[in-house]
Amino acid sequence: MAKYKSKYVCQECGYESPKWMGKCPGCNSWNTLVEEIVEKPKAGTVGARHGGFSAGSSKMVSITTIVGEDEPRLDTNMSELNRVLGGGVVPGSLVLVGGDPGIGKSTLLLQTSQELAGNGHTVLYISGEESAKQIKLRAERLGANSSQLYVLAETDLFLLEQQISQLNPAVVIMDSIQTIFHPDVTSAPGSVAQVRECTAHLMRLAKTKDIAIMIVGHVTKQGAIAGPRLLEHMVDSVLYFEGERHNTYRILRAVKNRFGSTNEIGIFEMAEKGLAEVTNPSEMFLSERSLGVAGSTVVASMEGTRPVLVEMQALVTPTGFATPRRMATGVDHNRIAMIMAVLEKRVGLLLQNQDAYVNVAGGVRLDEPAIDLAVAVSLASSFRDKQTNPYDVVIGEVGLTGEVRGVSRIEQRVKEAQKLGFKRVIIPAKNSTGWEYPVGIEIVGVHTVSEALRETLGG
């Protein structure tokens, strides 16, 4: 019997070890090392995993001699998806779409396939999780019945490549990468080695045949895409599909994009016949806002190149525990603790015996520091039980000394507030000069948090 060599690979981070260990030294995860067989390529052959992008040998050329080509993108007829992708699907690109189970990834990609097929592009939808009849049932509900849309239920990578070469489609949808297996790799589908080799093979296929490939990636309990971190580095774009199951709104966020802006978002509403675009997210997020309630403030946040107005809610109440609770939904928990410390030290609010709950209405998550001042105003409003002006928008970053620091793209934020009918915007004093104010809206520049509270709460 021929001898073989084996190695142990962490299924979380890809760390390799010659022997089994209970705890991975790379990511400190327990019981994640799985044995994989190491196979040497046969003499005189070159394995597919070692092939390059070009069929022949490449030569060095000066960058000044390279002729750039402005290749048109494929229009998906979905403005929100086009925005996230940077203007449409780029031929020859590899796009990874991740999200929680049941969030709508397959629905989004099947709708995208129908739109592209309706524009005359040949689309191949590959599923390793559903049969062709099951895909047909979902396609009938979504109205995807174009003759240019082909369906294939297969998981063998080599058979998939044969079908792609035979059809020569413009776009390939693959649902999902964890179900596809490379016949030359002995580990199970979904393992680190399988995901890495299949993705590398698909990348070469996309570049050599100029086919746009969109693959679905499963996520872990922590919300990260399953498989090695290398997977996100290999692809051209990484899109995360976010949202709450009990909420009808879904957010498609670009965290990596070689052909467009990062941190762009597209907003969709899950309806009976699929996902519907939300063209005015600010109006949607503020549609159920209560007026004249303490603890409610509107903030203008930038999501990529788009300003979005959302409601920041806070509830401060006396605690019944030895240690007060600090709960945050949609914002960073540590940032809330820091802002409360600033309010207590610099403003004089006694919050050490108060529970605090902060929520961003609508299910959106905000990460930028420009929301700090709105959080501070909401907390102070709830603590003092004083309502803020419902037609005010608050923007600014808060420092540890209680100062309000400047933010970027203030003109776009203010114009969005004016468009939705707000009358006044509280902004950092640094941002209050050097540009022309829109007509019909008052701009108030503040230097400190105390000054901002005097403007919004009257003291």
Span 309-361, pLDDT tens digits = 999 999 999 998 888 999 999 999 999 999 999 999 999 999 999 999 999 98
Mean pLDDT confidence for 35-54: 54
DSSP conformational letter for 343: I
The pLDDT of residue 1: 43
Reported as half-sphere exposure (CB side, CA atoms, 13 A), residue 15 has a value of: 19
d(CA 444, CA 441) in angstroms, rounded, equals 10
102 is in an annotated binding site: yes
Cβ(86)–Cβ(260) under 8 Å? yes
The pLDDT of residue 192: 78
d(CA 214, CA 254) in angstroms, rounded, equals 14
Q: Is 163 exposed, middle or buried (0-12, 13-18, 19+ CB in 10 A)?
A: middle
Among 31-40, 47-56, 407-416, which stretch is predicted with the lowest mean pLDDT? Answer: 47-56
Alpha carbon 58 to chain centroid, angstroms: 36
The pLDDT of residue 188: 80
126 is in an annotated binding site: no
pLDDT digits (tens, 9 = 90+) for 98-117: 988 888 899 999 999 999 99
Q: Which residue has the higher pLDDT, 246 or 396?
A: 396
Q: What SS3 state is found at 313?
A: strand
Question: Which pairing describes strands 171-175 and 212-217: parallel, antiparallel, or unpaired?
Answer: parallel
Residue 121 tokens, joined: 């592009």
The pLDDT of residue 246: 67
d(CA 359, CA 371) in angstroms, rounded, equals 12
CA nearest 229: which of 192, 179, 175, 187? 192
The pLDDT of residue 222: 64
Is the bond leading into 176 cis (omega within 30 degrees of zero)? yes
The pLDDT of residue 449: 97
The pLDDT of residue 14: 79
d(CA 334, CA 31) in angstroms, rounded, equals 31
d(CA 379, CA 305) in angstroms, rounded, equals 28
Cβ(342)–Cβ(377) under 8 Å? no
Residue 97 tokens, joined: 């779409």
Q: What SS3 state is found at 315?
A: strand
At residue 126's C-alpha, the angle toward residues 122 and 128, to 5°, is 175
248 falls in which pLDDT band (50, 70, 90)?
confident
pLDDT digits (tens, 9 = 90+) for 275-317: 999 888 888 888 888 888 999 999 999 987 789 999 999 999 9
d(CA 67, CA 365) in angstroms, rounded, equals 42
Alpha-carbon torsion (95, 249, 297, 355), positive or negative: negative
105 is in an annotated binding site: yes
The pLDDT of residue 48: 45
101 is in an annotated binding site: yes
Rg (CA), the chain: 26
100 is in an annotated binding site: yes
Residue count of the chain: 459
Q: Which residue has the higher pLDDT, 229 or 55?
A: 229
d(CA 211, CA 197) in angstroms, rounded, equals 18
Cβ(274)–Cβ(142) under 8 Å? yes
Q: Which residue has the higher pLDDT, 401 or 47?
A: 401
Q: What SS3 state is found at 68?
A: coil
Q: What SS3 state is found at 441?
A: coil
Q: Is 1 exposed, middle or buried (0-12, 13-18, 19+ CB in 10 A)?
A: exposed
440 torsion bin: left (phi>0), alpha (psi -120 to 50), beta (else)? left
99 is in an annotated binding site: yes
Q: Is residue 40 predicted with pLDDT exceeding 60?
A: no
**Which residues in 128-199 belong to E strands, given as ranges?**
149-153, 171-175
Q: How many CB atoms lie within 10 A of CB 158?
A: 12
Identity of residue 443: I
The pLDDT of residue 245: 65
d(CA 209, CA 93) in angstroms, rounded, equals 11
The pLDDT of residue 4: 58
Mean pLDDT confidence for 141-150: 92
233 falls in which pLDDT band (50, 70, 90)?
confident
